[in-house]
C-alpha cells in the first residue's frame, strides 16, 4: 500500500500517540486544517485510522496501544476523572484499583487520604501509593505484564477473591454502544470481573475516547457498576442505560463549566 510521505508520518504519529488532532497536525506540517481533514478522511477510508471528532485514532480492535501512548491520551481529562473519583472515597475505607492509566489517575488523587487499604493488581499504583504511611498497599500475585506493569492470571483472580471491599475503581479499554465493557487481554478481564464481584460499590472511570474504541473481550456491562465517571458522555443510549440501571453518571467537563 503506497502512502505519501505526509500520510506515512500521520499514521506513525497516530501509532505513537494513539490519538492525533487536526489542529496539531496542521501546525506540525504547516498546512491548513482542511488539508489535514482530507488526509485523515483518506486514511480512514483505507482503514489505517479511525475518525473521531477533531482528529483520528490509531485503530486498536485486537491489540492495545503502548502504555506510554495511552497515558498521553486525554491526560487532563483523566486527571479530572481521578479527582472526582477520589471525592467519592472517604478515609478509612478499603478499595480495589485495577489496571489502567485512568485508574492510576485515581490513585494519584487518593494520596491525601488517610487510613486506606488499597488492593491492586497495578504495579504503577502500588509503587506510587506505597510511600504514604497512611495508606496500606496490598498487591496481587501473578504474571506481571511487561507492557504496563499489570498483574494478571488465575493467581491474581484467586487473590482478589479473598477480599470484600468498600469500593472498586475499574478502568476499561472500550465501551460499546450497548453498554458492554471491553478489554484486550482475557487474563486481565478475569481479574476485573473478580474485582467487580467483590466490591460493595463499583466506580467505572473512563474518558470519552473509550466510546470511540473497540476491544475483543467482554468484562461485563455498564449496568453492573454503581457510578460511572467520565469527562463527557454524548451518547443518548449510554445515558439511557445509566438511568435505567440507576447508575450515577458524573461528567467532569460539566462540573468544570459550573466553576
Judge contact between 175 and 206, C-beta under 8 A: yes
> What kind of fold does domain 69-258 have according to CATH?
Rossmann fold (3.40.50)
Domain chopping of the chain, boundaries: 5-59, 69-258
Q: Which CATH architecture has domain 5-59?
A: Orthogonal Bundle (1.10)
Q: How far apart are CA 132 and CA 70, in angstroms?
A: 26
Element (H, E) at 129: helix 123-129
pLDDT of residue 5: 87
Q: How far apart are CA 213 and CA 65, in angstroms?
A: 11
Q: Is the pTM of this model over 0.85?
A: no
Of the candidates 77, 53, 215, 31, which has an alpha carbon nearest to the alpha carbon of residue 10?
Answer: 31
The neighbouring-strand residues paired with 81 are none
pLDDT of residue 71: 53
* pLDDT level of residue 73 (50, 70, 90 thresholds): low
What's the chain's Rg over C-alpha atoms?
19
What one-character DSSP code corresponds to residue 179? Answer: S
Residue 238 to residues 28, 63, 144, 208, 232, Cα–Cα distance (Å) = 35, 25, 33, 11, 11
| Average confidence (pLDDT) over 22-47 | 91
- 82-110 pLDDT, tens digit per residue, is 999 999 999 999 999 998 889 999 999 99
pLDDT of residue 1: 52
pLDDT of residue 62: 42
Looking at every residue in the chain, the average pLDDT score rounds to 88
Q: How far apart are CA 36 and CA 21, in angstroms?
A: 9
Judge whether residue 162 has pLDDT over 90. Answer: yes
Q: How far apart are CA 136 and CA 149, in angstroms?
A: 19
Q: How far apart are CA 102 and CA 160, in angstroms?
A: 20
pLDDT of residue 106: 96
- 121-158 pLDDT, tens digit per residue, is 999 999 999 999 999 999 998 888 777 788 888 999 99
Amino acid at each position: 500500500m503506497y502512502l505519501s510521505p505526509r500520510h506515512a508520518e500521520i499514521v506513525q504519529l497516530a501509532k505513537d500517540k494513539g490519538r492525533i488532532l487536526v489542529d496539531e497536525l496542521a501546525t506540525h506540517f504547516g498546512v491548513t486544517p482542511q488539508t489535514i481533514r482530507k488526509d485523515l478522511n483518506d486514511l480512514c477510508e483505507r482503514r489505517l485510522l479511525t475518525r473521531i471528532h477533531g482528529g483520528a485514532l490509531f485503530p486498536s480492535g485486537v491489540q492495545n496501544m503502548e502504555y506510554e501512548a495511552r497515558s498521553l491520551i486525554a491526560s487532563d481529562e483523566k486527571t479530572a476523572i481521578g479527582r472526582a473519583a477520589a471525592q467519592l472515597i472517604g478515609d478509612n475505607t478499603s478499595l480495589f484499583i485495577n489496571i489502567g492509566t485512568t485508574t492510576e489517575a485515581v490513585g494519584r488523587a487518593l494520596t491525601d487520604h488517610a487510613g486506606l487499604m488499597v488492593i491492586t493488581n497495578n504495579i504503577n499504583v502500588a509503587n506510587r501509593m506505597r510511600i504514604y504511611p497512611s495508606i496500606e498497599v496490598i498487591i496481587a500475585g501473578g504474571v506481571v505484564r511487561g507492557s504496563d506493569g499489570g498483574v494478571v492470571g488465575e493467581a491474581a483472580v484467586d487473590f482478589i477473591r479473598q477480599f470484600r471491599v468498600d469500593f472498586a475503581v475499574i478502568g476499561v479499554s472500550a465501551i460499546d454502544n450497548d453498554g458492554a465493557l471491553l478489554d484486550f487481554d482475557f487474563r486481565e478481564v478475569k481479574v476485573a470481573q473478580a474485582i467487580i464481584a467483590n466490591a460493595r460499590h463499583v466506580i467505572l472511570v473512563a474518558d470519552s475516547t473509550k466510546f470511540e474504541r473497540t476491544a475483543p473481550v467482554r468484562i461485563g456491562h455498564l449496568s453492573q457498576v454503581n457510578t460511572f465517571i467520565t469527562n463527557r458522555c454524548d451518547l443518548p443510549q449510554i445515558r439511557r442505560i445509566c438511568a435505567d440501571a440507576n447508575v450515577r453518571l458524573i461528567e467532569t467537563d460539566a462540573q468544570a463549566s459550573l466553576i
